[in-house]
Amino acid sequence: MAKAARAKFPTSFGVFSPTGHIVMALKDDASAERARAALLAAGFGEDEVTHHTRDQVIAEAEKSKEQEASPLQIGQDVAKIDEYLALAKDGCGFLVVHAPEEDRTKRAMAVVKPFGLKFAEKYNRLTLEELA
């Protein structure tokens, strides 16, 4: 049985910060769920792959935009939140995949690409790496 998506997104001091994770947008929620199942079949653990629906991403992005003036949002990339919001409003489903090592990143990307991958980037310790 599929594990329910976590309600919270990875944060640090209230700011979206999924260090060591790949954030992926797929063409829709059904594709994201199929890609999640493929990642699990490829050896990724239940706790390493989370599907966030388009509605969850929209809600989180809009909540974040409401807090833009908050001191807790210092460092939050407003343009990035806008990008995620636009993708979600376009119907994309999202996966957040824990893949801190380069070989796991490459494997995750290879597994997910056939499922309508539209966007992927990895949050490294100090950089954001565009993957697709």
Domains in the chain, CATH or no CATH each: 19-130 (3.30.70)
Single-letter amino acid, residue 101: E
- Which pLDDT tens digit goes with each residue over 36-84? 999 999 999 999 999 999 999 999 888 876 665 554 544 456 788 889 9
Cβ neighbours, 10 Å, residue 83: 15
Measured between alpha carbons, how far is residue 30 from residues 33, 41, 70 in Å?
5, 17, 35
- Which pLDDT tens digit goes with each residue over 24-34? 999 999 999 99
Q: According to the model, what pLDDT value does residue 128 have?
A: 85
Q: Say which residues have a Cβ less than 8 Å from residue 125's Cβ, sequence separation at least 6.
A: 19, 20
Alpha carbon 10 to its chain's center:
9
